[in-house]
Structure 1
Amino acid sequence: MAALFTVMLVCVAGLGVLDSVALDTREHIHDLGVCKAIGMTPRQTVSLVLASVSAIGVSGALLGVPAGYALRHLVLPVMGRAAGTGMPSPALHVYTPVQLILPGLGGVVLAVLGALASAGWAARSRTATTLRTE
């Protein structure tokens, strides 16, 4: 059940990123058209969109992973006291700092994978069409 729940959460997060990047790309398509008109290649367009998403993913990882770790240490003891049992130390100290890097990197990878469709659309769009878009 935990694996299925994790897969469902990853899918929902990926669709959320796809939606956000699609809206952002459509809002800035005129700007991308100007860049394409002065010589930006499709590969550079994809790189530009993915770089903007990567920066947001890295900042989210740098803020979200420590916040989640701290919140876990606040909530688990309260849950244990509410259930009438003490929370043993091994239940609280599950992750090492090295293991916390993986969820952060996973968030960045998820952001980039979610943005690939919008980046490809922006790269394939014709320059004249994008310049007419407001």
Structure 2
Amino acid sequence: MSPASILTLLLGTVAALGVFNTVVLNTHERRRDLGMLKSIGMTPRQVTVMTFTSMAPLGLLGGIAGVPLGILAHALIVPVTGHAGGIDFPASMRDVRHAGNVSAPLFCGVVLAVLGVLIPARSAGRLTIATVLHNE
């Protein structure tokens, strides 16, 4: 495995943990609301689906904001790095504005958000009304 692949894997893991932390905090803040919804008849599955659908747009927005910022950072950093190291990078490394390079991170943003919501959404769905109201 190349160093670039290891770095990419580590960055992806950090991003997934950041999403997971955000979802856990979001779910914890909405416990009272979830308890109220469950008291009027919402099923655990509906709570889980509601949590999933509230996080997917955030992942999409993160991808929409991150892709242009990543392309801009790449356009600024790669030439400076090449110049500092005395390396002339080939055009394939400098030009990253291909459809696959733009669409894949958007998809990954949504996938990371959905994967990060798995555990908190299931635990929110399993909460009983008494547990939620008792913790308040």
Tell me if both proteins adopt one fold, taking TM over 0.5 as the criterion.
yes
> Contact (CA 8 Å) 1:42, 1:124: kept in 2 or not?
yes
Tell me the number of residue pairs that the alignment of Structure 1 and Structure 2 aligns: 134
Relative to structure 1, the CA distance from residue 94 to residue 62 in structure 2 (aligned partners, 3 Å threshold; closer, same or farther) is closer
Alignment partner, residue 122 of structure 2: 120
* 1:3-42 alignment, distance < 5 Å: 3-42=5-44
Confirm or deny: 8 A CA contact 2:82 2:88 kept in the other structure: yes
Instruction: Return the offset for 1:99.
Output: 2.9
| 2: CA distance, partners of 1:108 / 1:27 | 22
Q: Secondary structure at the match of 2:101?
A: coil
Quote the residue 1:133 is aligned against.
135
Unaligned runs of 5+ in 2: none
Match for residue 54 of structure 2?
A: 52
Q: TM-score, normalised by structure 2?
A: 0.87
CA distance 1:4–1:80, shift in 2 (3 Å): closer
The one-letter code sitting in structure 2 at the alignment partner of 1:109 is: V
Q: CA RMSD in A?
A: 1.7
Structure 1 length normalisation: TM-score?
Answer: 0.88
Q: Percent identity?
A: 41
**1:115, CA displacement in angstroms?**
0.9
1:132 Cα shift? 3.1
Change (3 A) 1:90 1:14: closer
Is the 1:30–1:132 Cα contact (8 Å) retained in structure 2?
A: no
Shift of 1:23: 1.5
Shift of 1:86: 4.2
> Match for 1:90 among 71, 92, 117?
92
Alpha-carbon distance between aligned partners in 1 of 2:14 and 2:58, rounded to the nearest angstrom: 18
